[in-house]
Amino acid sequence: MAVVRRSDCEGFHRRDVLTIGAAGALGLSLPTFLAAQAQAKAKNGNTQAKAQGVILLWLAGGPATIDMWDNKPEAPEGIRGEFQSIDTKVPGIQLAETFPKTAQVVDKLTIVRSLHHTIPSHGPASVFMTTGNKPTAALQYPSMGSLAAKLLKSEVGVPPYVTFGDLRNGGAGLAGYLGTGYNPFVIEGGGGRGNFSVRGLTLKGSFTLEELEKRDALLRKFDNGLAGLDSSNELVDGLDTFHQQALEILKSDKTRRALDLNAEKPATRELYGNTPFGQGALAARRLIEAGVRFATVSFGGWDTHQQTFTRHKTTLAPTTDTVVSALLNDLDDRGLLESTIVMVAGEFGRTPKINKNAGRDHWARSMACLLAGGGFKRGYVHGSTDSSGMAPSSEPVTPDDIASTIFHNLGIDPHMELQTPTGRPMQLFREGKVIDKILA
Amino acid sequence: MCARRMLYSLLAGLAATGAGRAAEISLPTGGTLKAVDFERHIMGLLSKVGCNLGSCHGSFQGKGGFRLSLFGYEPALDYANLTRDTGGRRINTQRPDHSLLLLKATGQVAHEGGMRFGKDGWVYNVFREWIRSGAKWHRGRGEIRSLTVTPADFAMLSDSKSLQLTVTATFADGSREDITPFCDFKIADEAVAEVSPLGLITPRQPGDTGLTVLYRGSVKAIRVLVPMPPRADPYPKIPEANFIDTEVFAKLKLMNVIPSELSTDEMFLRRLYIDTIAQLPPPEVIRDFVADKDPKKREKMIDRLLAHPLHAALWATKFSDITGNNTDALENPAPTRAKRSQMWHDWLRKRFADNVPYDHIVRDILTATSLDDKTPEEWIEFVKKVDNQAAQGFTTDYPHKKTLDLFWRRQQQVPIEQWGEKVAAAFLGVRLECAQCHKHPTDRWTQEEYWAFANVFAQVTFAPNQFSSPAVKKLADAENAARREKAPQGNNNQILLVRELFVSDRARPRPNPATNITPLPRTLGGDVITVRPGEDARVKLAAWLTAPSNPFFAKAFVNRVWGHYFGVGIVNPIDDFSLANPPTNERLLNALANDFIQSGYNIRQLERTILLSRTYQLSYVPNETNRFDKNNFSHAAIRPLMAEQVVDVLNAALGVNERFTGPEEAPVGTKMVEVGASRLNSSVAYALRIFGRPPRTTACDCERAMEPALPQTLFRMTDNTVLAKFTDRNGRVAQLAASTLTPEQLAEEIFLATLSRFPTPDEKTEAVKHLKQTANRTAAITDLMWALVNTREFILNH
């Protein structure tokens, strides 16, 4: 078959490096699938793993975290925003007043206030934050979701990695050098009413399951052209396996059930808020329960070059505040927070200096993000920025460090090596260091 | 202090063990080692047991406080770190068995890297004896002059017995030594044969695979052939159409493998259509072709399709990958990028359509400038015309430009070393990237050669407001001022400005980071390129690169073309020519390359020769002797389609046009292979993504993921964009439903439109039954089309 053989920088065809992932998992490409089949022992139980899944609430556009989770009411005029700080459930930790509900769940959160990088441009910064690797022109790094799809044991019948809509940048959120088999399954629809479907996994309109089975019976009568080659041809054989799996998945209603928000109590749906972001986050929680490993729910509009404060007050902050608090409470109530990581972040922060349009511009040198759940401390603030929020003043961390720490908590060595299609050995997060201080 | 301590322990060691009376060590491949040499033996073992890998102590940061040079290229560093660090505890000449090196490597003391060798083996003895005899280093004693492997070139394992390789090194001092056990052996396909750490090859199943021998940075590769068992019948006489068949069949005979039968007309026609124009043969063409009695009908069809406009479009698509036509990386403003990608694609397409000699195409890419030989005034007029055309519609005059300056025009400045990597990968099939930071471990390239090659591109300039001459600047400034004037206020970065790609006399070469000395520009592994003021180093590079004597140029291209038509290259991966990756059939590769050079780099003639060969026209149906053959072309390879072929083939089967919307908007009827942009916004984007269209960000062709994946299967079965093609008002389903064809005729037509063949009697019976049973004619046709489109036969090329 036409699949390239790989030899790497060190000359080895290191098939043994990575063949984790159960056969029958969604998104496996053929060579990996075959390798996984060959290696009967799928995976040597992740004893280190504190978490099994991740929900990334992605604030696209670059949130002004200086007006949110690292509020600076004492900073000089022209830097401090319009918002006062309020006390939270954890003594000594304050948030901007626009996050009253989140203030009540700070006891479940690690707030990282010393995150920073150097790319104030949406596309590459999104790639940096979602991959944990500084983008280069020479190689497309896989998103954390794609890595999770590859490295974590998947649940049969549900996609390992989903995104609600496409992320802003073409490269962000995708599989990069891992290959198309690890791209996310895209969840479509939604809106306030939450009619979600997974592209390729959900039958629509008159094309019912019954119709599918009828057509498939017909297909079976005609799929014999290459059938004689099954045993000798990996490709022909592999495609048949995929066909069987596709049918199983389409027939299995695990994913469909998970996406059926009507199964939730109206009160719960209410808690998440009647917004696409809220209903998406609820669907993400249900998917994680069903065995999805990584779910990204995106909420745009944070690129506030104009009217930062008005936009925060009217839509951005209330929506986010509702969703973050609802998700954390819900996960915790269900005992899922211990095994689920929640990350809330965007691609960069915004300039401490307020521009002439009452907006803030791109600023990567300081930003805050929220981490919670599986393996992270509760009620903890990590690092700080200087008095005007320009740069970290203690415990500086980078996107690589965040990604490394998340994967550490997922039981994956952040420095394990994967191979690019040219066979170049590549550590998951080369520059990343696990942030010990935020580990529970 | 450390040194003194070591000296002490050295002296003590000598005293204790009776200085230097060497103990002979029996080697596992036979013979004895009389004296252990640091470079020849210890350095060899450090590589062999994996100590100096990048993931272990070879990492630039070291590991666990112990660093070795990556792959062992720096004996001085390694010797120092072995003997001096940790206060000399790593090596204990007085009590060799207490050396930390041995305690760690044997797992007696906790070692993150685990146990590398046992305490009672020969490896241990070699290390121990070296330590015991004083842990000495004779600088240069292990410098390799040459390496020979026996058997040379290929190992034929015809009687299912194992074969021991012997590797002999000739060192700089003229001495020769059998260093077999100190080498590293790697076999590419373990299904064919396995190789032991000591070089014993054991056959497993008939086939052909590469085997690489590594010894301290020197690389040798041979091929391992495991032939089919001899047969009772004499080997049949296979007709040969041209020299390709001669070379392919000669090797098959050596392997006792008999090629498959000639493909049927239907099989041949479908394969040829997909391969040459990314289309399916229309039902009426199949009928006529099958009925045609002309013995030259295949040749005529080949010529017809090679001259088809879509054939050039297909190669433009492939060359857009190879040359890195990455829409997202092109210059601002962003909305103009898709059109620029289209110009790039169309420039290439015109050259393939006109059958421009390959060396001319490459020269006109490599030496591209914006100005070409135009006067500044002519150039400005051309730029205005092309920009205007691009703003208005799909086609421009850009293909008429002499050189492809778009290749070099990227919004973000490209570091010169990436130009080096791109050019090497695209036109020489050589992957250089390893040599950026260290000598290429499995190839000849040194870091010095890497940076010298990179510096060929140090003159390339593409920056805002920089122009090659005051005359050009004056005109460009005036035009840009006019464009700014016309643009709406406020969004300055949305104005398309005139920019120029040129070579500057103020080159910005980069130093080799290992030496911090800036090497003079050189051809890859070749001579220095002297550049006088006003000269372009790339012109001399192009002359070297496209010369018939270039060791890679012609081979790399014929291998690409071969890989396209056979699904697997003669060198595979197709853009990985290296010492460690020898061709499966060297005579074939040489014959093709020589023929290509002789023809004046005539691409069409090369393709014609390949397509006319019996080898290309073989059936995919294997026989008992060639069932497992993957790389000797004894039957047609069943292979996945390129993402663009998937889109076009699906549309062809269902009789619909793709709608390209947004910045890549194209006239109705435009095929996927005709679209230049690498990032699409229309509904086709999802299909391209899941079928692995490359983003064209990296230098090599390798980012095109051809492996099938589950989402592809799901896509064909359920995706709404696919289902919509069945219900298209003008699509094939609607047309057939409206036709007066009988169920029998319908069945035949549907098979021809999808699988490009007539149904078997059984299939026809089933299809007719379904058509008659189902009340709704449209629904019945839809069911049948859906079923056939979802077969493996449909989605694979064969």
Pick the CATH number of A30-41+53-438 from 3.40.720, 1.25.40, 3.90.320, 1.25.10: 3.40.720
As for the ipTM of the complex, it is 0.82
Q: pLDDT tens digits for A207-217? A: 888 999 999 99
Q: How confident is the model at residue B492 (pLDDT cuts 50, 70, 90)?
A: low
- Could you tell me which chain A residue has the CA closest to the CA of B690? A180
Q: Assess contact for B280 and B649: CB atoms under 8 A.
A: yes
Q: pLDDT tens digits for B371-409? A: 999 999 999 999 999 999 999 888 999 999 999 999 999
On chain B, the residues whose CB falls within 8 A of the CB of A426 are none
CA distances from A34 to A29, B221, B750 (A): 9, 27, 34
Segment A240-265 shows an average pLDDT of 86
Residue B247 predicted with pLDDT over 70: yes
- Return d(Cα B460, Cα A157) in angstroms, integer: 53
Tell me how crowded residue B685 is: count the other CB atoms within 10 A of its CB: 18
Percent of chain B with pLDDT over 90: 70
Residue B288: strand, helix, or coil: helix
- Residue B16 has what pLDDT? 42
CA distances from B426 to B361, B437, B549, B556, B625 (A): 12, 21, 18, 9, 36
Residue A342's H or E segment, with its range, is: strand A340-345
Residue B291 predicted with pLDDT over 60: yes
CA distances from B550 to B214, B516, B523 (A): 26, 30, 11
A29/B707 CB distance under 8 A: yes
Residue of B424, B399, B429 whose CA lies nearest to B561: B429
Q: How confident is the model at residue B86 (pLDDT cuts 50, 70, 90)?
A: low
Q: Assess contact for B749 and B781: CB atoms under 8 A.
A: no
- Residue A183 has what pLDDT? 84
Q: How confident is the model at residue A25 (pLDDT cuts 50, 70, 90)?
A: very low
A200/B640 CB distance under 8 A: no
- Return d(Cα B615, Cα B243) in angstroms, integer: 10
- Residue A123 has what pLDDT? 84
Q: Assess contact for B140 and B172: CB atoms under 8 A.
A: yes
Q: Assess contact for A433 and A18: CB atoms under 8 A.
A: no
Segment A105-124 shows an average pLDDT of 94
Q: Specify the length of chain B in residues.
A: 798
Q: How confident is the model at residue A246 (pLDDT cuts 50, 70, 90)?
A: confident
DSSP string computed for B412-466: SPPPHHHHHHHHIIIII----GGGGTS--TTSS--HHHHHHHHGGGTTEE--TT-
Distance of CA B478 to the CA centre of its chain: 45
Tell me how crowded residue B465 is: count the other CB atoms within 10 A of its CB: 11
Q: Which two tokens stand for residue B245?
A: 């068949």
Segment A400-417 shows an average pLDDT of 94
Mention every residue, 6+ apart, whose C-beta is less than 8 A from residue B23: B129, B132
- Residue A195 has what pLDDT? 77
- Return d(Cα B510, Cα B516) in angstroms, integer: 9
Segment B79-89 shows an average pLDDT of 78
Segment A221-228 shows an average pLDDT of 83
Q: Specify the length of chain A in residues.
A: 440
Segment A389-408 shows an average pLDDT of 96
Residue B607 predicted with pLDDT over 80: yes
More reliable by pLDDT, B790 or A15: B790
Q: Poorest-confidence range of A199-203, B426-430, B585-589?
A: A199-203
**Of B568, B690, B793, Cβ closest to residue A2:** B568
Segment B283-295 shows an average pLDDT of 98
Q: Assess contact for B266 and B280: CB atoms under 8 A.
A: no
**Ordered alpha helix ranges (H), A300-432:** 308-311, 317-333, 399-409
Q: Which two tokens stand for residue A286?
A: 């249900």
Q: pLDDT tens digits for B102-121? A: 998 998 888 887 888 988 88
Q: Poorest-confidence range of A38-52, A329-343, B274-288, B339-353?
A: A38-52
Q: Assess contact for B727 and A186: CB atoms under 8 A.
A: no
Q: Poorest-confidence range of A156-160, A317-321, B382-386?
A: A156-160
- Return d(Cα B756, Cα B754) in angstroms, integer: 6
Question: Is B622 an 8 Å CB contact of chain A?
Answer: yes
Q: pLDDT tens digits for A59-76? A: 999 999 999 999 999 999
**Of B620, B714, B770, Cβ closest to residue A201:** B714
A183/B689 CB distance under 8 A: yes
Segment A159-165 shows an average pLDDT of 87
On chain A, the residues whose CB falls within 8 A of the CB of B686 are 186, 199
Question: Is B214 an 8 Å CB contact of chain A?
Answer: yes
Q: How confident is the model at residue B19 (pLDDT cuts 50, 70, 90)?
A: very low
Segment B459-466 shows an average pLDDT of 93
- Residue B375 has what pLDDT? 97
On chain A, the residues whose CB falls within 8 A of the CB of B638 are 1, 226, 229, 233, 235-236
Q: For chain B, what is the mean pLDDT?
A: 91
Give the angle subtended at the CA of A7 by the CAs of B688 and B177, to the nearest 5°. 165
Segment B676-681 shows an average pLDDT of 86
CA distances from B136 to A154, B7, B142, B439 (A): 53, 12, 13, 26
Mention every residue, 6+ apart, whose C-beta is less than 8 A from residue B526: B544
Residue of A339, A440, A377, A439 whose CA lies nearest to A53: A339
Segment A270-276 shows an average pLDDT of 92
Q: Which two tokens stand for residue B706?
A: 């051809």
Residue A17 predicted with pLDDT over 50: no
Q: How confident is the model at residue A15 (pLDDT cuts 50, 70, 90)?
A: very low
Residue A174 predicted with pLDDT over 70: yes
**Of B184, B431, B690, Cβ closest to residue A180:** B690
B717/A250 CB distance under 8 A: yes
CB pairs under 8 A between A and B: 222
- Return d(Cα B590, Cα B582) in angstroms, integer: 12
A236/B71 CB distance under 8 A: no
Percent of chain B with pLDDT over 70: 95
Domain ranges of chain A: 30-41+53-438
Q: Which of A33, A119, A174, A180 to mutate to test the interface with B (most CBs of B within 10 A)?
A: A180
- Residue A193 has what pLDDT? 62
Residue B563: strand, helix, or coil: helix
- Return d(Cα A46, Cα B511) in angstroms, integer: 45
- Residue B12 has what pLDDT? 41
Residue of B25, B44, B72 whose CA lies nearest to B198: B44
> Phi then psi for A200, rounded to 5 degrees?
90, -20
- Residue A40 has what pLDDT? 29
Segment A12-41 shows an average pLDDT of 39
Pick the CATH number of B144-226 from 3.20.80.10, 2.60.40.1080, 2.60.40.420, 2.30.30.90: 2.60.40.1080
Residue B523: strand, helix, or coil: coil
Q: Assess contact for A347 and A128: CB atoms under 8 A.
A: yes
Q: Poorest-confidence range of B250-259, B659-668, B766-775?
A: B659-668
Angle between helices B309-323 and B265-277 (to 10 degrees): 50
Q: How confident is the model at residue B456 (pLDDT cuts 50, 70, 90)?
A: very high
* Residues 373-412, chain B, touching A (beta carbon < 8 A): 412
- Residue B281 has what pLDDT? 98
What is the residue whose two structure tokens read 């239907």? B266
Segment B200-204 shows an average pLDDT of 93
pTM listed for this prediction: 0.85
Q: Which of A1, A28, A201, A256 to mutate to test the interface with B (most CBs of B within 10 A)?
A: A1
- Residue B17 has what pLDDT? 45
A202/B718 CB distance under 8 A: yes
Residue B13 predicted with pLDDT over 70: no
Question: Is B420 an 8 Å CB contact of chain A?
Answer: no
CA distances from B687 to A31, A402, B715 (A): 20, 33, 8
Residue B213 predicted with pLDDT over 90: yes
CA distances from B625 to B47, B209, B257 (A): 40, 17, 5
Residue B454 predicted with pLDDT over 90: yes
Q: How confident is the model at residue B650 (pLDDT cuts 50, 70, 90)?
A: very high
